[in-house]
Amino acid sequence: MSAGTAKLNVTVAEVKPINELVTRFKFVRTGGGDLPTFSGGAHTVVEMEDGGQTRLNPYSLMSDPADRGAYMVSVRRDDEGRGGSLFMHNNVKEGMEMVISNPVNLFSLDLRAKKHLMLAGGIGITPFIAQMHQLSHTNGLFDLHYSVRTASLGSYAEELQAQYPNRVHVYHDDQDERINLEELLDTQPLGTHIYVCGPKGMIDWVHKTAEELGWPREAVHSEEFLAPASGQPFEVKLAQSNKVIQVGEHQSLLEALEANDVDAPYLCRGGACGQCETTVIECDGKLVHYDHWLTDEQREAGKLIMPCVSRFEGKTLVLDQ
């Protein structure tokens, strides 16, 4: 059960390849009508019926939040992933009916900021496209620094540079162009907030550099969706529902709960939001935490687990579920 998010029935209105790895999907409401409003940085969870298995993947909305006629998401194909992005690329066609969640925003703009400094890496560009739309309606001040592997893989880089001249700066890895982060951060006016979305290494680099340069923690925002990690299969006992379930090698604990008709709460499915936090009653083994939610002290205590991304290795795990 997704907490507080009713489902939306949508029809795929357009499937547009952007480059060799990224494809853009446009959803309109099935039967017509407006979609719910959202704010820049929001994501939707797309349900995929993939041969008897339901995949639920979060994707950032990249369309203009002021346009309620359609939502757009961009999906980067991951050939080594668990199959969600491959399903989107290979199976989703124009005219197909799908189910998506209401938008949820875990990466919203702090509108108290005097200026918004956006740092994107690769497909991490998508939430910023919606945020830039939102800010340009209100004359908000922003700069985007966008790191891409090559010009041909730099999704939307040219369009954004044309749309927001002087505000969008693109860096190409293959031409050895790098964001000069320390200089960039040191020269920002008071009241600037940083937003970073991209690979884990980039997010960690930005948080660490900002902290060293004396930025307040509240002024640095990041979003990284984790795909649930694969790992050894394991068994879980559920105290409330009195069940014993098996979690497969490429299945998350949350997915295993759902496959066994246990109505577990979730929101982001990527270790970020905290909604699926579950109490550990008994643990004879090792909890393998992958989330961004629990603090080091909570991990140390071993009383909580985030079933959307985290796993277990050992003999017995009993959850209050």
User: Residue 268 in contact with residue 254, Cβ under 8 Å?
Assistant: no
Q: Which stretch binds another protein (CB under 8 A): 21-29, 185-193, 252-260, 283-291?
A: 185-193
Euclidean distance between CA atoms 158 and 18, whole angstroms: 12
Q: Tell me, residue by residue from 189 to 228, as one string, x for binding to another protein by CB under 8 A and - for no binding.
A: xxxx------------------xxxxxxxxx---------
Give the position of tokens 């668990």: 82
Q: Cβ closer to another protein: 209 or 241?
A: 209
> What are phi and psi for residue 142, nearest 5 degrees?
-150, 155
Contact 191, 114 (CB under 8 A): yes
Contact (Cβ atoms closer than 8 angstroms) between residue 207 and residue 222? yes
Residue 5 Cβ vs another protein, minimum distance, rounded to whole Å? 29
34 binds another protein (CB under 8 A): no
**What is the nearest approach in angstroms of another protein to the Cβ of residue 200?**
23
3-state secondary structure of 231: coil
Q: Residue 198 carries which DSSP code?
A: S
Tell me the DSSP string of 109-176. Answer: --TT-SEEEEEEEGGGGHHHHHHHHHHHHTT--EEEEEEESSTTT-TTHHHHHHHSTTTEEEEEGGGT
Task: Supply the minimum distance, in Å, between the C-beta of residue 209 and another protein.
Answer: 11
Q: Least distance in Å: CB of 118 to another protein?
A: 15
Q: Which of residues 124-163 bind another protein (CB under 8 A)?
A: none
Residue (110 or 284) nearer to another protein, CB = 110
Least distance (Å) from another protein to the CB of residue 220? Answer: 10
Taking the complex as a whole, the smallest distance from the CB of residue 164 to another protein amounts, in Å, to 22
**Residue closer to another protein, measured from CB, 93 or 112:** 112
The distance of closest approach from Cβ of residue 218 to another protein in the complex, given in angstroms and rounded to an integer, is 4
- Contact in structure between 147 and 202 (CB atoms under 8 Å): yes
Q: Residue 277 contacts by C-beta under 8 Å, 6 or more apart in sequence? A: 293, 294, 304, 305, 306
Residue nearer to another protein on the CB measure, 221 or 311: 221
Q: State the nearest-atom distance from the C-beta of 194 to another protein, in Å.
A: 8
If one asks whether residue 315 binds another protein (CB under 8 A), the answer comes out as no
Report CA-CA distances (Å) from 66 to 54, 101, 137. 31, 19, 9
285 near another protein, judged by CB under 8 A: no
Does 183 interact with another protein (rule: CB under 8 A)?
Answer: no
- Is the Cα dihedral 220, 226, 231, 236 positive or negative? positive
Q: Is 174 a residue that touches another protein (CB under 8 A)? A: no
Q: Does 166 bind another protein (CB under 8 A)?
A: no
Amino acid identity, position 40: G
**What 3-state DSSP class applies to 56?**
strand
Which residues are paired to 168 by β-bridges? 144
Sole window of 69-77, 186-194, 198-206, 255-263 interacting with another protein (rule: CB under 8 A): 186-194
93 lies in the binding site for another protein (CB under 8 A): no
Query: Is residue 99 helix, strand or coil?
Result: strand
Count of residues engaged in binding another protein, rule: CB under 8 A = 20
Site string for another protein, 96-125 (x = CB under 8 A): ----------------xxx-----------
Minimum Å distance from CB 110 to another protein? 9
Strand bridging mode 278-288 / 192-197: unpaired
Contacts to another protein by CB under 8 A: 112-114, 185-192, 211-219
